[in-house]
């Protein structure tokens, strides 16, 4: 047992800082104390627990097997305490504190940009950190509070709220189709230059459902790849090939007829949707709930839904 619980919690905080910094000096700088004070706290913690928590060399500090286990549990416990404090603070005042958010690039800029700015103006004490990225981010590892994701959910450990439908559309420029011909059936796509999105890993293929409800798939091959849907859309506009993209990239170009829907009688399977996703261990703060509600309201005005 530990004689003084408050002292023990302080030592645990120092231990977590040392593991994160991989050095006593780095932890001391982060905590605003001396390296000798850090060393003393670690010695006391190891005496409390009667186990060696850290391997020390002249170059760095790393946790022992016991230290790794203790770090994982202790860091989670202190995070829970911090989230409890956040909840209490929000009960006492206006929404405040950090929110780290990830949005697909074009969707974020074109359709959610004004909504995010409006939210920031309405709640100035919320510290927004907005990341625009088309890749499939790791929600937990990159410590996002909220990720707006397009697709179908594979990770059942995440909490998700459906926001809107988001069809994937095969399209190409009229000039490309005049030159290379318009596919009549999915198998015809193998004769065309397919512009491939590389952000989701795995083979580039199109899975579809026909008007009879039958499911099929066709491999797509091509000379142009990118991890940005916006770049792929621009390539299609330049007559380079056929592209499969979420509707928000191409909606205005389909309307202006700069792009043409290819194989409109076939739908992408499974159906894609826009989700608000967050890790289950995140405290569902008032600020997070307000932002999700705000973005969901915005999706009701998306042009392909009206």
Task: HSE, CB side, 13 Å, CA atoms: give it for residue 245.
Answer: 38
pLDDT of residue 266: 92
What is d(CA 135, CA 132) in angstroms, rounded to the nearest whole number?
A: 9
Q: What is the CATH number of domain 97-165+272-305?
A: 3.40.190.10
Name which of 141, 220, 227, 234 is nearest 187 in CA terms: 220
pLDDT of residue 284: 67
pLDDT of residue 1: 43
Contacts of 284 (CB under 8 A, 6+ apart): 278
Query: Exposure of 300 by Cβ count < 10 A (0-12 exposed, 13-18 middle, 19+ buried)?
Result: exposed
| Per-residue CA distances from 157 to 113, 145, 153, 241, 277 (Å) | 29, 14, 10, 38, 10
Establish whether the linkage from the previous residue to 270 is cis, with ω within 30° of 0: yes
Domain ranges of the chain: 5-91, 97-165+272-305, 168-268
CATH topology of domain 5-91: Arc Repressor Mutant, subunit A (1.10.10)
pLDDT of residue 105: 85
Within this chain, domains 97-165+272-305 and 168-268 share the same CATH topology: yes
CATH architecture of 168-268: 3-Layer(aba) Sandwich (3.40)
What is d(CA 287, CA 294) in angstroms, rounded to the nearest whole number?
A: 10
pLDDT of residue 91: 62
Residues of the chain with pLDDT under 50: 1-2, 202-203, 306
Whether pTM > 0.75 for this model: the answer is no
The pLDDT tens digits for 144-185 are: 999 998 876 666 678 888 888 888 899 999 999 999 999 999
């Amino acid at each position: 047992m530990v004689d003084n619980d408050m002292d023990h919690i302080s030592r645990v905080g120092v231990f977590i800082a040392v593991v994160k910094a991989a050095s006593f000096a780095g932890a001391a700088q982060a905590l605003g104390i001396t390296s000798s004070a850090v060393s003393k706290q670690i010695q006391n913690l190891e005496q409390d627990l009667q186990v060696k928590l850290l391997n020390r060399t002249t170059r760095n500090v790393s946790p022992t097997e016991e230290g790794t286990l203790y770090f994982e549990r202790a860091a989670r416990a202190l995070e829970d305490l911090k989230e409890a404090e956040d909840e209490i603070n929000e009960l006492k005042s206006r929404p405040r504190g950090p929110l780290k958010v990830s949005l697909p690039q074009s969707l974020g800029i074109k359709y959610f940009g004004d909504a995010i700015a409006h939210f920031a103006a309405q709640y100035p004490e919320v510290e927004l950190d907005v990341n625009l990225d088309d890749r499939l981010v790791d929600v937990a590892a990159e410590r996002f509070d909220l990720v707006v994701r397009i697709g179908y959910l594979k990770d059942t450990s995440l909490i998700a709220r459906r926001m809107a439908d988001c069809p994937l559309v095969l399209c190409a420029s009229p000039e490309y189709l005049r030159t290379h011909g318009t596919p009549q059936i999915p198998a015809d796509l193998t004769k065309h230059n397919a512009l491939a999105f590389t952000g989701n890993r795995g083979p580039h293929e199109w899975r579809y459902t026909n008007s009879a409800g039958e499911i099929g798939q066709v491999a797509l091959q091509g000379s142009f790849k990118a991890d940005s849907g916006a770049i792929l859309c621009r390539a299609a506009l330049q007559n380079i090939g056929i592209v499969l993209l979420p509707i928000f990239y191409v909606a205005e170009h389909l309307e202006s007829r700069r792009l043409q829907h290819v194989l409109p009688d076939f739908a992408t399977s499974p159906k894609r949707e826009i989700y608000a996703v967050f890790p289950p261990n995140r405290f569902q703060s008032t600020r997070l709930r307000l932002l999700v509600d705000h973005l969901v309201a915005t999706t009701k005005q998306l042009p392909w839904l009206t």
